[in-house]
Amino acid sequence: MMDTPIAAMQPRRTLVLHRSSRLAPPMAVGGHGVWLVEQGGREVLDASGGAAVSCLGHQHPRIVAAIQAQAGKLCYAHTSFFTSEPAEALADELVGDAPGGLCQAYFVSGGSEAVEAALKLARQYFVEIGQTQRSHIVARRQSYHGNTLGALAAGGNAWRRAPYAPLLSPAFSHVSPAFAYREQRADEDEAGFVARLAAELEAEFQRLGPDTVAAFIAEPVVGATAGCVTAPAGYFQAVRAICDRHGALLILDEVMSGMGRTGTRHAWEQEGVAPNIQAVAKGLGGGYQPIGAVLVSERIVAAIEAGSGAFQHGHTYLAHPIACAAALEVQRVIREDRLLDNVIAMGGRLEEKLVERFGNHRHVGDIRGRGLFRAIELVADRATRDPFDPALQLNARIRKEAFARGLACYPSGGTADGRCGDHVLLAPPYIVSPAEVDLIVDRLGEAVDAAIASLR
């Protein structure tokens, strides 16, 4: 049988299992900078880097060359027998200076795997030190930690959890998110809001029995579930203090918000706390290869070394040499090209332009985020903050209108309980230019207006 030329194939055989919308997606055949190229040649501005993945944009020549060079040397060696040069160099790049006391890196294939490993490490730590009663994990509603069963059990996204509820472990429980726009009361200032959230977390520890809690897990800036929600000042310090008081670990999930997305390599640097265990992925490899990592603090490494001697976990593709080589080059480019300066500068411009375009928009209730991680939340009524009826699928309409205008952004639906409205997440590559930022906001403005007009 003759091979079908790739360009002539229809993506039909992947649709049911892979599609993310009911529309048959066009074929992506190329990319450059912040642009993706469709079959036929149309260019689409990648305003969210997929799901906050493509931090260097597409087809960066240094990353492509690093992948090719590693492929020419060594493609694979199982971690039971070997480590590899790119894995060790990437670990040096990430934890060589022990940021926040994180001193070892464990490389996996993506975000969900990183979260699974983080949860199991927390549990193994307590087994190693003889506190085997610690088996509860406290997380937050309106969080997303991944789609594998442990990560899904940690997450608070009701829609994602619903079909699998019987498979999700009761070891996980959830407290309120630190989501000021929806959760802060009118008669409460920021400090009061933080105090109330801290009291709720403390009460949850007490309900479970404080010496049975292994860890609290949270995203420093909430990504997919509510759209770039930053925590109120002092929140993470309060959380850290509660974990410390009760001997529990703090796991921060920076799969989406980390690796420079908010203007510092780690989002926690802006919160004044460091985690015991951290999950990273997306911006680690920038989409050039599937890779995630767990960064682990000295205390946990020491306990495992003194105990069983190894993390009781593993996957076939741990620390894949080509993935590590790609991620290493991504991180070097970010550092050498001083791209975090651009994240801060272009993040400021993006915020300004969003406020200019949507600040007085009758259906935009909130504009939020940090660095190049920004979102708008749509509301039916600004005064009451009532979201649109989720059945209207406003987010899907925005996605369609934006795509028709050559803009790929990341709209998500509101929650059925009305505690979050439809929102649009923007996470452009760190190389984005001022003109491209302006184009993103122009096209998004038109798309939002057209989508809302289509409701009538």
Interface with ligand PMP (CB under 6 A): 51, 110-112, 115, 144-146, 219, 223-224, 253, 255-256, 281
Q: Least distance in Å: CB of 319 to ligand PMP?
A: 16
Q: Is the dihedral of CA 136, 140, 142, 144 positive or negative?
A: negative
The nearer residue to ligand PMP, 126 or 144, going by C-beta atoms, is: 144
Distance of closest approach, residue 2 Cβ to ligand PMP, in angstroms: 36
User: Facing residues of 374 across strands?
Assistant: 369, 426
Cβ closest to ligand PMP, residue 160 vs residue 382: 160
Q: Taking the complex as a whole, how short is the minimal distance between the CB of residue 335 and ligand PMP, in angstroms?
A: 23
Taking the least distance from each CB to ligand PMP, the nearer of 201 and 425 is 425
Distances (CA, A) of 359 to 32, 254, 353: 32, 29, 9
Minimum distance from residue 214 beta carbon to ligand PMP (Å)? 18
Give me 229's structure tokens: 């929600």
The CB-of-251 to ligand PMP minimum distance in angstroms stands at 11
Residue 34 or 281 having the CB closest to ligand PMP: 281
CB-closest chain residue to ligand PMP: 111
Q: CB neighbours of 409 closer than 8 A, spacing ≥ 6?
A: 47, 48, 398, 399, 402, 424, 425, 426, 440, 444, 447
Task: Name the DSSP class of 386.
Answer: B
φ, ψ for residue 339 (rounded to 5)? -75, -20
Give the shortest CB-226-to-ligand PMP separation in angstroms.
11
Cβ-based nearer residue to ligand PMP, 51 or 328 = 51
Instruction: Tell me whether residue 88 is exposed, middle or buried, using C-beta atoms within 10 angstroms of its C-beta: 0 to 12, 13 to 18, 19 or more.
Output: middle
Contact between residue 280 and residue 114 where contact means Cβ atoms under 8 Å apart: yes
Minimal distance in Å, beta carbon 308 to ligand PMP?
27
Residue 243 CB, nearest distance to ligand PMP (Å)? 19
Residue whose CB is less far from ligand PMP, 279 or 448: 279
Residue 294: Cβ-neighbour burial (10 angstroms; 0-12, 13-18, 19+): buried
The whole-angstrom separation of Cα 173 and Cα 177 is 13
Q: How far is the CB of 222 from ligand PMP (least distance, A)?
A: 8
Q: What is the spatial distance between Cα 211 and Cα 216, in angstroms, rounded to a whole number?
A: 13
CB of 20 to ligand PMP, least distance (A): 12
For 11, which DSSP code?
Answer: G
Burial string for 173-201 (b: 16+ CB within 10 Å, else e) reads: ebbbbbbbbbbbeeeeeeeebbeebbeeb
Alpha carbon distance 136, 212 (integer Å): 6
Residue 219 or 422 with smaller CB distance to ligand PMP? 219
In contact, 46 and 429? CB cutoff 8 Å: yes
Q: Which residues, listed in sequence order, are joined to residue 221 by a DSSP beta bridge?
A: 230
Name which of 183 and 253 has its Cβ closer to ligand PMP.
Answer: 253
As measured in angstroms, the least distance from the Cβ of 381 to ligand PMP is 29
47 vs 256, beta carbon nearer ligand PMP: 256
Q: Give the C-alpha distances (Å, rounded to integers) separating 144 from 55, 219, 224.
A: 20, 8, 6
From the list 141, 332, 318, 143, the residue with the least C-alpha distance to 219 is 143
Residue (145 or 240) nearer to ligand PMP, CB: 145
Q: Which is nearer to ligand PMP, 125 or 144 (CB)?
A: 144
C-alpha 306/C-alpha 304 separation (Å) is: 5
